[in-house]
Amino acid sequence: MAMEDSPCPPKLSVIIPAYNEAHRLPKSLRQLRDWLDDQPYTSEVIVIDDGSTDETTSVVRAAMSEWAALSLHLASHAGKGAAVQAGARAAHGDLVAFADADFSMPVRELERLRLVAEKIAGVAIASREVPGARRYGEPWYRHAMGRVFNRLVQILVLPGIQDTQCGFKCMPRDIALTLCSQQTISGWGFDVELLAIARRHGFAIREVPIPWYYMANSRVRLGRDTFSMVREALTIRTKMRRGDYDPSGVSAGASDASLIEMRNTHAC
């Protein structure tokens, strides 16, 4: 149900970080709107344009003209982690979901994540590795490198979590703000950091099996990005040992002052 059809605030906020996604967003937004319009609860969708140099901003603005639940935020090109952090701070929903712009899992799987996050009052993460999950079309070498990285993450930071890197997660908004208040990594390793913070705070984390479809134009560069993620995992381990992620009552704060927001107007 679109946010304009019901009182504010929305039940669910969907955050989509986007960098040069003009070719993928039209289809993704169309599918997301069709699905959300069929749900019995209110929702909003927030696209964080992470300094795109293509027509991403124009694509989202065009969609906003016909979809009042959609809003756009412009940010400097600081990385996916920073974009997710900004999106969480801009969200109004009781629950906040993070989603990749390519929607490499079917949109309907968001409902499974939402229900699990609501049930456990914690963090539901889409997983391509737990029993019941399926991968489609992924080259063997990418899967192999992903498993090597996950093994390192489990040894260094997060034992027992099989898939930290899938881009679809859902949690109550207050938890999202708590995690973002201590998040420091803006690169690909931010997923590991958020989950490390969640575990340190004692929040429940549950992996939800999904069908996942490999997208050939993935943003991840195997060599350079894998090296960066390993380095960030080591940084997270050091921060954990120092107590940087200990519960401290840090305020989640307001949205980044450098963020420019373009939001459709709603009557609440």
Q: Note the pLDDT of residue 68.
A: 96
The pLDDT of 193-198, averaged and rounded, is 98
Q: How far apart are CA 39 and CA 237, in angstroms?
A: 40
* Predicted confidence band of residue 255 (pLDDT cuts 50, 70, 90): very low
User: Which tops the pLDDT comparison, 145 or 252?
Assistant: 145
For 62-89, how does the pLDDT look when each residue is reduced to its tens digit (9 = 90+)?
999 999 999 999 998 999 999 999 999 9
Residue pair 13/46 in contact (Cβ under 8 Å)? The answer is yes
Domain assignments of the chain as residue spans, ordered by start: 3-249
Which tokens belong to 240?
Answer: 């954990």
* Predicted confidence band of residue 220 (pLDDT cuts 50, 70, 90): low
Q: Note the pLDDT of residue 152.
A: 93
Domain 3-249 adopts which CATH fold? Spore Coat Polysaccharide Biosynthesis Protein SpsA; Chain A (3.90.550)
User: Does the pLDDT value for residue 114 go beyond 60?
Assistant: yes
Which tokens belong to 89?
Answer: 């701070």
Which amino acid, one-letter code, is at 137? G
